[in-house]
Amino acid sequence: MFNSLRKEINQMVNRSLDRSLRIAVTGLSRSGKTAFITSLINQLLHIDQRENNHLPLFEGARNLSIIAVKRMPQADLSIPRFDYEANLGDLSAQPPRWPQSTRGVSETRLAIRYQRNNGLFSYIKEKGTLYLDIFDYPGEWLLDLPLLEMDYQQWSQDLHHLSVGIRAELAQAWLAKLSKIDLKAEANEDILAQLAKEYTAYLRACKQQGMHFIQPGRFVLPGELEGAPALQFFPLIHLAPQQWKKLKAEAGAKSYFAVLNQRYSYYRHKIVKGFYQNYFVNFDRQVILADCLTPLNHSAQAFLDMQEGLRRLFKNFHYGKRHLLNRLFSPRIDRLLFIASKADHITSDQLPNLISLMRQLVQEGGRHAAFEGIKTEYGAIAAIRATRQVLVSEQGMQFKAIQGARSGDRQQITLYPGTVPNKLPDSDFWRENKFEFEQFEPQPLLPGEPIPHLRMDAVLQFLLGDKLN
Ligand code: GDP
């Protein structure tokens, strides 16, 4: 009798303890989202009830209160599944290779069964399940938020200001074709498609030069909209204010000008707004990854461009009461984690500098001290650690260096990657410093072992710690 009552109470308590948490992961392309989610799932799946040496900073793993972690069918069937198996397959291949990067949204669900530590009654063995939904989406999509406040002319003029230096050079071919179009003439679908394709090629070329401020964000990562007319428009950056005025007064309903206006408007209202409405507002916690090291390899303009891209991306989270995002959608994110990724490219003594650089990028030199009402943290991690740190002796002195298989020829190399600037680099800095952050191939995975990482346990503690008590 007492036993069955206890069982019943147990079940009741367990049911009430089940909860779910939606964590979104974003970052510009190649910032390390795929690597991050693959590693996060892998670290959790390797938790076991005897010991968890791979996650010393994650309380639930260290004190063995997590009983089991399982993959589950995802909640939203319309969203593509995050392909964990394929990614793990890539890392386990001989030789191992990096998994395929994020191209659109994807989702995955885990169930974490855990023992409660501070339960109601000590004699009831309280267990709970945390359903964890992990949602991956390109950061480029967040660059489109300002479009909600700009009409076609304002947007075009905004981009006109950015078209200088390398960007202006790369835009030349597309602009030459665009200037030949009579915007008052009847629109030809094929020509629009072709020009949009060339505009997209220009955006891709910018990316290749290490520049990340890309608008519209969907053009480079269209997801399911590949080839759709909704993405076949472009900014009219060559027009002067007088020409806009004239076109608005004179262009007919079937003209290029009218069709471009309609498509821009559709993109804003249906695609950009749709993303925030359907997905963004449902996230509980957000991880934002940034690769702050690779742009240091390129140029001052590439770095400034990344800074601009990130500034616009971060703006999505600086939401105070009057912020556009809050006014339109009231998001519910309560924790925000900014991560400088690929920290295995530098020696451990440089980690504080990397975190400090990241902080400065996020806070624009301290102007936004905090994200209103959101618990925020900054970290540097390697989701998939491809290097080892070693000590090298030279002329009686010892240096920290890193060792790994160089990208391409897979030759084992040892190098001292240099000093990471701890604040936003100025022009003197670019004259005096030269960076060569090599790319590395992933290390072979040992059978049954988790993916080697750096500080993924601290990440798990911040994201999940309070939910597993
Ligand atoms: P995504 O576009 O944001 O999904 O980026 P990925 O996760 O695909 O990462 C892009 C590339 O960055 C990978 O192919 C790797 O070359 C590199 N990378 C990502 N994470 C790490 C890491 O933790 N360590 C190292 N060394 N390289 C990484």
Quick: pLDDT tens for 109-154.
999 999 877 655 555 667 889 999 999 999 988 889 889 989 999 9
Per-residue tokens: 374: 């959101």
Instruction: State residue 1's pLDDT score.
Output: 54
Q: Does 29 sit in the ligand 1 pocket, CB within 6 Å?
A: yes
Under a CB-based contact definition with an 8 Å cutoff, are residues 135 and 105 in contact? yes
Structure tokens belonging to residue 153: 């002319």
Q: Of 344, 384, 387, 407, which is best to mutate to test ligand 1, by the most ligand atoms within 8 angstroms of its C-beta?
A: 384
Which token pair is 46?
A: 């390797």
Closest atom of ligand 1 relative to the 36 alpha carbon: 7
Which residue CA neighbors atom 2 of ligand 1 most closely? Answer: 30
pLDDT of residue 290: 92
Ligand 1 atom closest to Cα of residue 387: 26
CA 30 to ligand 1 centroid distance, Å: 6
**Residue 342 C-alpha to ligand 1 middle, in angstroms?**
7
Q: Give me the count of residues in the chain.
A: 469
CA dist., res. 240 & res. 242, Å (int) = 5
Task: Report the alpha-carbon distance of residue 314 to residue 329 in Å, rounded.
Answer: 17
Distance 170 CA to ligand 1 centre (A): 26
State the distance from the centre of ligand 1 to the C-alpha of 354, rounded, in angstroms: 17
DSSP state of 350: G
Low-confidence ranges of the chain (pLDDT < 50): 365-366, 369
Q: Is the CB of 143 under 6 A from ligand 1?
A: no
Give, for ligand 1, the residue of 33, 82, 91, 98 to mutate: max count of ligand atoms closer than 8 Å to Cβ: 98
For ligand 1, is residue 440 a contact (CB within 6 Å)? yes
Task: Please give the single-letter amino acid code of residue 380.
Answer: A
Centre of ligand 1 to C-alpha 235, Å, is 31
CA–CA dist 22, 250 (Å, integer): 50
Atom of ligand 1 nearest to the CA of 31: 3
Three-state secondary-structure class, residue 327: helix
**What's the pLDDT score for residue 369?**
47
Would you call 447 exposed, middle or buried from its count of C-beta atoms within 10 A (0-12, 13-18, 19+)? exposed
CA atoms of 277 and 263, how far apart (whole Å): 20
Domain definitions of the chain by residue range: 1-137+280-469, 143-278
Q: Is the CB of 87 under 6 A from ligand 1?
A: no
Q: Which residue's entry shows tokens 């001989």?
A: 94
Q: Quick one: three-class SS letters along 158-192?
A: HHHHHCCHHHHHHHHHHHHHHHHCCCCCECCHHHH
Q: Is the CB of 439 under 6 A from ligand 1?
A: yes
Q: Rounded to an integer, what distance in angstroms lies between the CA atom of residue 346 and that of residue 422?
A: 13
CB of 102 sitting under 6 A from ligand 1 = yes
- Closest-CA residue, ligand 1 atom 15, reads 98
Structural contact between residues 96 and 120, judged by C-beta atoms closer than 8 angstroms: no
| 7-21 exposure pattern, b = at least 16 Cβ within 10 A, e = fewer | eeeeeebbeeeeeeb
- pTM score: 0.88
Residue of the CA atom closest to atom 28 of ligand 1 = 342
Q: With a 6 A CB cut-off, is 384 part of the ligand 1 pocket?
A: yes
Ligand 1 atom at minimum distance from 386 CA? 26
Q: What tokens appear for 388 in the block? A: 């080892």
Q: What is the ipTM of this complex?
A: 0.99
Place of tokens 């959790």: 44
pLDDT value, residue 365? 47
Ligand 1 center–CA 101 separation, angstroms: 8
Confirm or reject: Cβ of 30 under 6 Å from ligand 1.
yes
Quick check: 246 and 279 in contact, CB under 8 A? no
Sequence-ordered strand ranges (E) for 32-190: 66-72, 106-115, 127-136
327-349 b/e with 16+ CB inside 10 Å = b? eeeebebebbbbbbbbbbbbbee
| 108 close to 79: Cβ distance less than 8 angstroms | no
For ligand 1, say whether the CB of 286 is within 6 Å of any of its atoms.
no
Give residue 293 CA to ligand 1 midpoint distance, Å.
12
Q: Which two tokens stand for residue 75?
A: 């909640």
Contact 244, 238 (CB under 8 A): no
Quick check: CB of 153 below 6 Å from ligand 1? no
**With a 6 A CB cut-off, is 13 part of the ligand 1 pocket?**
no
Position 295 scores a pLDDT of: 81
Q: According to the model, what pLDDT value does residue 80 have?
A: 87
Instruction: For ligand 1, say whether the CB of 362 is within 6 Å of any of its atoms.
Output: no
CB 319 less than 6 A from any atom of ligand 1: no
User: Which 3 state secondary structure label does DSSP give 448?
Assistant: coil
Q: What's residue 349's pLDDT?
A: 93
